[in-house]
Every structure is written in C-alpha cells, then in structure tokens.
Amino acid sequence: MSHPSTYRRARAEMSVGRSTVVIMDETRDSFTAPDRTAPVRGAAEQRAAGRGAILSELEFTVVDVETTGWAPDEASITEIGAVRVRAGRLVAEFSSLVNPGMPVPATITELTGISDQMLISAPPVAGVLPGLLAFARGSVLAAHNAPFDLRFLTAACTGMGLDWPSFEVLDTVRLARHLMATPEEVPDRKLATLARFFATPVRPSHRALDDARSTAAILGRLLARLADREGVSTLGQLDTWLAARDAEVAAAEVAAAEVAAAEVAAAEVAAAEAAAVEGAATAGQEADADGRETARADAGIG
C-alpha cells in the first residue's frame, strides 16, 4: 500500500457530482475517470472473468461510511470515503460529506467530528452514491466490518430505486478473524487495533476517507500474510479458504456448545443424584428415629 507521502504528491482532482475524486499522479494515465453513464459491472460479470484472478493484481475499492446511527432503518449516511487500489498501489480516492436529512446526534458528532453545520450544504446521498458506484465499477469491494457499510449503501440504493450491483465483497474483519491470533498478536480485530499492529501510514479517525485508507493498508498486509502462510493467491482460492475456515469456526462453536450442554446435563444429573442420596439418608435417619421411639414405647420408657 502507498505511504501517505504518495497522497501529497501532484494529483489530479475532479468532481463527480459534488463529491471529490482524486487520481494519483503516477497512475492517472492508466486510470479512467468514473463515467456516471456507464453500466456498473457486478459480481456475475466479474465471476465470468474467471475465479483465477490473482489477488495481488486485482483492483479493490475499499469503502467506509460514517452515519448518524447504527441501523439504516433509523439512521442515515453522513460521509462516504473510498480508495481504489490496483496491484497493491493506491490509484484514486473518493470522498464526500452527505446530508443525512436528519440531525446528527451529539454522541455521533463527538465520535466523528461531523456536525450538522458541516452537512448543511452537503449533497444528499442520491447525489453521491451514483458517483461511488461508478468509482468502484469493475473492482472487488472491501470494507472493515463490511456488513455494516453494505447495509447502509444497499438501503440507500433501494431508497433511490436503484439495483445494488452485487459486487464481490471482501470483509477485512473476516480475514483478520482467521489470520490474526488473539490474544497472542492482537486483543481484538477492531480497525484501530489492526492499524496499530501493522503500523499503517494513516490511522483510523472515524472519518470515512482516513478509515478507508487505513483499511486498504490492512487489507494489503492481510493478503500478503494469506499468500505467505496459506498459499492462497487467487480469488477462487480465497473463497474456498474462507468458506473452509468459516466452517471450522462454526463446527468448533457447535462442538463447544455441545460440550457445554453436556456439562450442564452432567451437573444436573449429579445434583439430582446427590439430592436423592441426601433424601435417602434423611429418610433412613427418620426411620431409625421412629424405630428407637417405638422401642422405647414398647419398653415402657417414657
């Protein structure tokens, strides 16, 4: 992944709607500016190109969204950031604030630094999302905790009456779960934790573009680790490897649940047996006491 100094070199900037696309100087001759009228190539078309695509040569669009909350049915997007990576090198960036059409909660402003005042003149998501889709066209989409970002992006598409292009999606949380040992290497797989571990040039800040840049760097390190340790080098191999690792985790969870259930059942049986023994002992003691009382009565002892 590129060092931040690359970001500061001469660059070409363009406007996509009211969003900003930055094309890195070294590669802009080979990177075509997003065409908002062109069809967006989805996963089916990408798969038609073959599952033998080399991961180190693939183009990824690493995306991050900031929002007013945690679920798209009650919150909206406030910022979208994305970076386009080709063969491990950052070639372009996409960034835009988004007017969510609702107030930003104080807790979110405290977390992200994004305030209502910053969003007054920002475009709505309908003015930003088509540019993002064009920017990402023909690439594999990647994100940290991708289901979160995709829920908001697909909900926005639905609200606009657009079909989501069904990108091939890679989640760096899922990758890290299988490639990073806890707690030996990292205590968790949070973005900030992984950024510290890999010493990424850009650290996450709860701003979309910084977080996308950081995720892109982490993705590069995880894919390198995947190739070195697991021999996984193609998109097809990655799909197979991830499915196998997920199945192993699921099986281990089922086995752990079965062991826990068996331990609970055994504890319940032991408790029942102990109660039965205690009950028998109590009944025996009571019988002995009754017998002694009867004997005393028969002997005329009062």
What is the model's pLDDT at position 9? 38
List all residues 6 or more positions away from 51 whose beta carbon is below 8 Å from its beta carbon. Answer: 234, 235, 236, 239
CA-based nearest residue to 215, from 34, 30, 78, 82: 82
Instruction: Give CA–CA dist 38/67, Å, rounded.
Output: 28
**H helices, E strands: number in the chain:** 10, 7
Q: Band of the pLDDT at 288, cuts 50, 70, 90?
A: confident
Return the SS3 of 285: helix
CATH code assigned to 4-233: 3.30.420.10
Pull the structure tokens for residue 48: 């038609």
* Res. 5: pLDDT tops 60: no
Instruction: Give CA–CA dist 57/193, Å, rounded.
Output: 27
Instruction: Give CA–CA dist 78/263, Å, rounded.
Output: 48
How do residues 239-271 score in pLDDT, each as one tens digit?
Answer: 999 999 999 999 999 999 999 999 999 999 999
- When pLDDT is averaged across residues 181-200 and rounded to a whole number, the result is 97
Instruction: Give CA–CA dist 300/114, Å, rounded.
Output: 96
Residue 173 host element (H or E): helix 172-179
Question: How far, rounded to the nearest angstrom, does the alpha carbon of residue 50 sit from its chain's CA centroid?
Answer: 26
How do residues 50-100 score in pLDDT, each as one tens digit?
Answer: 478 899 899 999 999 999 999 999 999 999 999 999 999 999 999 999 999
Whether the link from the prior residue into 183 is cis, omega within 30° of 0, is yes
Q: How do beta strands 77-86 and 89-97 pair?
A: antiparallel
Residue 218 host element (H or E): helix 208-230
Pull the structure tokens for residue 84: 């386009």
Q: Is 13 exposed, middle or buried (0-12, 13-18, 19+ CB in 10 A)?
A: exposed
Domain ranges of the chain: 4-233, 234-302
How do residues 21-44 score in pLDDT, each as one tens digit?
Answer: 887 644 333 333 444 344 444 444
